[in-house]
A and B are shown apart, each in its own frame.
Chain A
């Protein structure tokens, strides 16, 4: 069964550094999402992306964050200057025209 893949599985970075989290959505899916889960907290919506543009973003998704679909297969989340509070599990998801969302296994980001 096709699946969403995310790399790396774990990323450690220093505060202030830029990170790029990568995702390969399911090939025929049109909608792409990033969610995050801070340890012990709820899974939170960050951003949705459709037709090469952001369709919705949450309050969390400030100017430090950006998303891109650079080549028609990858979907990336960039954090420009990481903060300690960005440490979380980041989940990529994709869907066809509508729900349900199919999630990847996540990238654990640790900011030191």
Chain B
């Protein structure tokens, strides 16, 4: 079945760039999403990319999509302590509008 995989942890220093990676298996994806989950909170939509795009930039966030390798990444420039959270990659299945989530990557930003 469809699957989305992410590395579990990432630690960066404040001011550095963070790159969170995601791979997916569904070849019929239409959109791919990044959600942020802060402790005790819900899933906050950060950004998304349509499957026919290679890159999308939104302020400090850059999403890169390699459709051939089914690889998605989220780059956060000038990472701040407030960026510490769990980041989920999610694939939207074209037929069902059902999200398949990755395990989430816990980003820790060191001051």
Q: How far is the CB of B26 from chain A (nearest CB, A)?
A: 13
Q: Say yes or no: is B96 at the interface (Cβ < 8 Å to chain A).
A: yes
A42, A45, A105: the one contacting B98 at CB < 8 Å is A45
Q: Which range contains the number of B residues in contact with the other chain?
A: 20 to 34
Count: A-B pairs, CB below 8 Å: 54
Decide if the interface of chain A is mainly helix, strand, loop or mixed. strand
Q: Which residues of B contact A (CB under 8 A)?
A: 30-31, 33, 35, 40-45, 48, 88, 90, 92, 96-104
Offer 28 A-B interface pairs, CB within 8 angstroms, sorted by A. A4-B42, A6-B42, A35-B99, A41-B103, A42-B104, A43-B88, A43-B90, A44-B101, A45-B99, A48-B97, A48-B98, A56-B96, A56-B98, A91-B42, A91-B43, A98-B97, A99-B30, A99-B33, A100-B31, A100-B48, A101-B45, A102-B45, A103-B35, A103-B42, A103-B43, A105-B40, A105-B41, A106-B42
